Structure 1
Amino acid sequence: MPARARLADENVDFMSLMSEANRRRVLGKSTPVVYPAGTLLFREGDPARVILIESGLVRVFRTVPDGRQATVAFLRTREILGASLIVSDPPWVCAQIVIDSTITDLDVKTLRNVASTHIQVMTAVATQLAALVRNAHRLVALRSLGNITQRLAYDLLERACQSQLEMGRLDAMVTQEGLAASIGSSREVVSRAMKGLRAAGIIKTTPGVVRVVDPVRLSDTVRAFLRPT
């Protein structure tokens, strides 16, 4: 599989798809900013932004009026969010900083102008958008087709991220019985999977609470399903 296709299915290093000259054009006078874990970077309906994740982990999610949330993507270092704004309407999503992250806001007008005159930049935008679509499809499929550890990892990360917004900690307030019911398994099977995650240093547990110690590695477990064979 060509390098670009592999990147599109996994972690798109957006800037690496362009020449140095085009990278300078895209970045312009943008300045990176460090955001602490737990920051809600923007909400649905906020002024549209295109952000480059210089380093870190960002959760992208949708909400409904009753407060429920659904994760649509976990974005990693060198990916961008908001690429659809370059060619169409902005994404109607929220963005959460899961770990301390360095973010660069790209100037939308500049990016549109550069993309309209440099096919390499437009190709990079299209590659990022295609990756988001493919990975969103796989994220939906994971809930029923992933193995126990992958489904458990997604469930824990989803719960912990929601808790982080409310309490400032990546704590999933749930029992093993609750997790088993959520992912369609048994308590015994979930217990074995949790033991593996604890042994790997990814989570810590106390009665009724699962603390996510290493959200990046937990998201790696989720992305293992997203990665094509």
Structure 2
Amino acid sequence: MAQSSTVLRSTIELRDLHESAHNPQTLAPQLEWLREARGRGLLSRLPDELVMAVVTVGQRVQYPPGTLALRWDESPKTGIVLRGTLRAFIALPDGGQVTTRYLRAGDVTGVFAPRQPHLARGVQALESCEMLFIDAARVKELSMTKPLFAWEMIEELTTVLNSTHKAMYVRAYGSLRQRVVTAILDRAEALGGVTAGQSVPGTQHELANAVGSVREVVANVLQALKREGLVDIRRGGLVILEPDRLIDEATAGLGLAT
């Protein structure tokens, strides 16, 4: 019921935004709820009028921590993260999962055509978050009629593709230790940046899911990182102590730019 009321309230807000389209003086205040999402990513590169055209037919949905969204069997749609962090993942036949990227406000995810092949994949909320969903037909219409939107979507999807390629490269050629360190750094980046003292929440089981391993093995890696002074392990997460050394660990021998 809570999710339905969120969607209903959002529909009314977006209708009001559409009605103010012809009054530029009222447009900026109407877009205030998009402030965080416009700080980076697709919406940050679009003018107010085009942002309005994108979001007026969207649907806002809130998710509590742990909730799955954009499941593999859903209809094609685009999702824009409004607030909070999520992880995109692929589910394996044995029940395991591999995280392909972490998302924060401004990031775009979803699919824009029927999913082929039918891989089991989706996104999961890592904390309380909110997303804006736009139907695939609307995305296609905007791409066909608004050249700037089409180009910025190409830019955004290139960013997504590069991120996914990096994740698959590290999984294929990196050591387990490098995969764990990379997952820590990626999660920290989604939370705002890789800095000394940055807390990275999450259980060892969640981290094992992210790297395609098991909790016991990941626990051994974390203990080694703690002994070497790179991180401090806390209940429900860890704290980054030596960000530069962690970055060196993640990229050593892989030829990845930092």
TM-score tier by shorter-chain length is: 0.5 to 0.7
Are 1:12 and 1:131, in contact at CA under 8 Å, matched by a contact in 2? no
Relative CO higher for 1 or 2, CA cutoff 8 Å, sep ≥ 6?
1
Give, in whole Å, the separation in 1 of the partners of 2:185 and 2:77. 25
**Which residue among 19, 30, 42 is the counterpart of 1:14?**
42
**Which residue among 167, 188, 204 is the counterpart of 1:139?**
167
Are 1:156 and 1:172, in contact at CA under 8 Å, matched by a contact in 2? no
CA RMSD of aligned residues (A): 3.7
Q: Which moved more, 1:138-147 or 1:46-55?
A: 138-147
Letter in 1 for 2:204: A
SS at 1:99 equivalent = coil
User: How many equivalent pairs are there?
Assistant: 184
1:196 aligns with 2:235: no
Aligned residue number for residue 218 of structure 2: 179
Shift of 1:103: 0.8
**Which residue among 89, 109, 121 is the counterpart of 1:61?**
89
1:212 aligns with 2:251: no
> Following superposition of structure 1 onto structure 2, how do residues 71-90 of structure 1 map, counting pairs within 5 Å?
71-82=99-110, 84-85=111-112, 88-90=113-115
Aligned residue number for residue 107 of structure 1: 135
Give, in whole Å, the separation in 1 of the partners of 2:40 and 2:104. 9
Max Rg structure: 2
Letter in 2 for 1:96: Q
Shift of 1:80: 0.9
Shift of 1:147: 10
Aligned residue number for residue 3 of structure 1: none
Are 2:204 and 2:218, in contact at CA under 8 Å, matched by a contact in 1? no
Where does structure 1 lack aligned partners over 5 or more consecutive residues? 1-10, 159-168, 206-210
Are 1:152 and 1:179, in contact at CA under 8 Å, matched by a contact in 2? yes
Q: Percent identity?
A: 18
Aligned residue number for residue 26 of structure 2: none
